[in-house]
Chains A and B, each alone.
Chain A
Amino acid sequence: MEQLLGYVVVGLATGSTYAVIGLGIALVYQVSGIINFAQGDFVMLGGLTYAVAAESGAHPVAAAAIALTVTAGCGAALHLFVLSPARDAGHDRLIVLTIGASILIQGLALLVFGADQHFAGSFGGEHQFQAFGISISAQYLWCAAVAAAAATAVWALLTRSQSGRAMRALAADRETARLMGIAPLRTGLIALVIAAVLAAIGGIVLAPIQPPDATAGVPLGLKGFTAAVLGGLTSPLGAIAGGLLVGVVEAVVTGLVSSGYRDAVVYGLLVAVLLVRPGGLLVAAVRERV
């Protein structure tokens, strides 16, 4: 029983990173109406670039800066060269485009970084602390702290800045927002870059715990989707709560059952939520218009 509490703590910490990944997915979906299947690959790209830079001797802060820049640039490129040219396309084509971008990023990462895992040390050295009968790496605290800071920054951006207001306006009423002079493409670009940065942050703080390789993006992206869908895909707070839930379920299943079924349970959770409450667990069931 005591161990269970330990797993919950670990789950909440890893879940906080899934929360920021999911936050990026929900943000892009709200602003542009696009389900961005490349979000998981942004996580991979951020984590892998960070680990590779750290391995080659860069200071962790410098490595993180490089990783954030690379991933943000990749997000901007996705919007400018792939999504913007197809802005008149239907949602189905946009979805397939992000899938194409996702495998392209994965392939390029394999070409550049190879197929091997890369290792980065924990922030501020290896520390373990004992809690609830299990030993927990201090990196989990970093995960939770950084994720909380990132989520707070996004909240401040959405409520306090001009482009944040533009994003919320587009999410609330696309046509009216356009009439009021908000440029959907430019705002969409900002949203996608923010999503990429959030993904990279998730990837960087997770890198010391789950050493990334070029194929790490799909499962991490799926956990972000599960987080976002649990929260109803439209609510930033819901995505955060969803991420925490995914982390806890994952940690408890791994700890109590087996790590083999971990992925099956997390993906099964997404299927179950989509089947039972496609509007999200935390949102009152709303019949969407067609």
Chain B
Amino acid sequence: MARLRPFAGYLVLAAGLLLVPAVFTRVPFYTMSTAVLMVLLAIGALGLVPLTGLARQVSIGQAAFYGIGGYTSALLSTRAGLDPWWGLLAGAALAAAVAWSLGTVIFRAQGHYLSLATLAFGLALAAVVNELPATGRNAGLSGLPPLHVFGVSLTGDLPIYWLGAGLLLIGTVAVHLLVRSQLGSALTAAGDSPVAAAAAGIDIAALRRTAFVVSAVLASVAGSGYAHWFRYVDPSMLGLLNSVQLLIIITVGGRESVWGAPLGAFTVVTLTEVVRGRLPGSGAEAELTAYGIVLVLSLLVLPRGLAGLPAALRRRAGAR
């Protein structure tokens, strides 16, 4: 049974992703552009499962990697005229290199410096991108070409959605394999008890760095996807709110499980749309307030997130 369960999970995820276009185009509330946003954010949040869920390291700077992906794609495709896929790959490679270097130094010291370092790094990068002429300053870069598959260019929400859904499935399988591998067990051990893990001969710093690199690559891929979907990037991509949003997604969805990313993305994007569309005269203020309440409540009431809900209910039923 335990061996079957991941396959059941994949089936549910694949079926859900397949059904989304049929459902979202027929109900009044959801649109295909919210669906694209959901899959892209789910890809970005997926990387936080090994990092925050297993290794218990909090990054508040994922938007920096999101932005690195977006801006690398934008610069390579508009200025250098390269194929968009090269931009996506180059962005991922650059994000990996940055995370690897940052991780090498930051994880030398124990403690909770990653949250501070990623926060400061993200804001510093956003401030630089906002000032540099090469990145278009606060106007950003526009005129990005769309991504293409087998010679068909992906314009419009539906084709991009299928691509994003495909990438999300691949990413989920990859992160799931990582979580269930020996590396995943080591990450869990390092997260649960760093002292015991270190005593068992596990190189905690290298482990955390690996998880950080994985999270950076996934955030960068999501950023590139977003850039070629929107055909435009600006410094708000690197904003603190984007980092916090990914953190909320994985916390609400369940940071210890790969299913937490799609669950959380669906919930948080839905919440954003509800707040923006349904509350009278609302803007960023209601959105921030809602995010804050949801984040605090989910941590207090449902620390394992929505993905941990079945197990929590079963435990409660068993206790009775």
By a beta-carbon cutoff of 8 Å, the part of chain A in contact with chain B is 35, 37, 82, 85-86, 89-93, 95-97, 99-108, 110-111, 115, 214, 218-219, 222, 225-226, 229, 260-261, 263-264, 267-268, 270-271, 274-276, 278-279, 288-290
Contacts and interface: CB of A to CB of B under 8 A. Distances in A.
A103 B300 CA distance: 16
Contacts of A276: 105
Contact of B296 (A89, A101, A108, A289): A101
Interface in B86-122: 102, 105-106, 108-113, 115-117, 119-121
B295 A99 contact: yes
Given A96-B58, A290-B194, A111 B295 contact: no
Interface of B: 52, 56-58, 60, 102, 105-106, 108-113, 115-117, 119-121, 123-124, 127-128, 130-131, 194-195, 198, 204, 240, 244, 247-248, 251, 284-293, 295-296, 299-300, 303
Given A103-B291, A290-B110, A290-B204, A92 B57 contact: yes
Contacts of A37: 60, 115, 119
Contact of B292 (A35, A104, A261, A267): A104
A86 B300 contact: yes
Given A96-B299, A274-B120, 11 more contacts: A100-B296, A103-B288, A107-B291, A218-B240, A225-B119, A264-B127, A264-B131, A267-B124, A275-B105, A278-B109, A279-B109
Given A261-B127, A267-B123, A288 B110 contact: yes
Contacts of A93: 299, 303
A35 B292 CA distance: 17
Contacts of A107: 285-292
Most chain A beta-carbon neighbours within 10 Å: one of B58, B102, B284, B291: B58
B120 A96 contact: no
A97 B289 contact: no
Given A103-B291, A110-B288, A290-B204, A270 B110 contact: no
Contacts of B204: 290
B251 A271 contact: no
A167 to B, nearest CB: 20
B114 to A, nearest CB: 9
A182 B127 CA distance: 45
Given A93-B303, A106-B288, A274-B106, A100 B116 contact: no
A289 B120 CA distance: 24
B276 to A, nearest CB: 13
Contacts of B198: 290
The 8 closest A-B pairs by CB, nearest first: A104-B292, A107-B289, A107-B288, A110-B285, A100-B295, A267-B124, A278-B109, A264-B127
Contacts of B300: 82, 85-86, 97
B292 A103 contact: yes
Nearest to A225: B116
Given A35-B116, A104-B289, A271-B120, A86 B299 contact: yes
Contacts of B110: 288-290
Given A35-B112, A95-B58, A288-B109, A111 B285 contact: yes
B186 to A, nearest CB: 15
Contacts of A289: 110, 195
A226 to B, nearest CB: 8
Nearest to A263: B127
B286 A111 contact: yes
Contacts of B286: 107, 111
- Of the candidates A89, A100, A106, A214, the one having the most CB atoms from chain B within 10 angstroms of its own CB is A100
A90 B188 CA distance: 14
A145 to B, nearest CB: 30
A92 B113 CA distance: 11
Contacts of B119: 37, 222, 225
Contact of A104 (B102, B120, B128, B293): B293
A176 B256 CA distance: 34
Contacts of B247: 96, 99
A271 B117 contact: yes
Given A222-B119, A261-B131, A82 B296 contact: yes
Given A89-B303, A263-B127, A278 B292 contact: no
Contacts of A214: 285
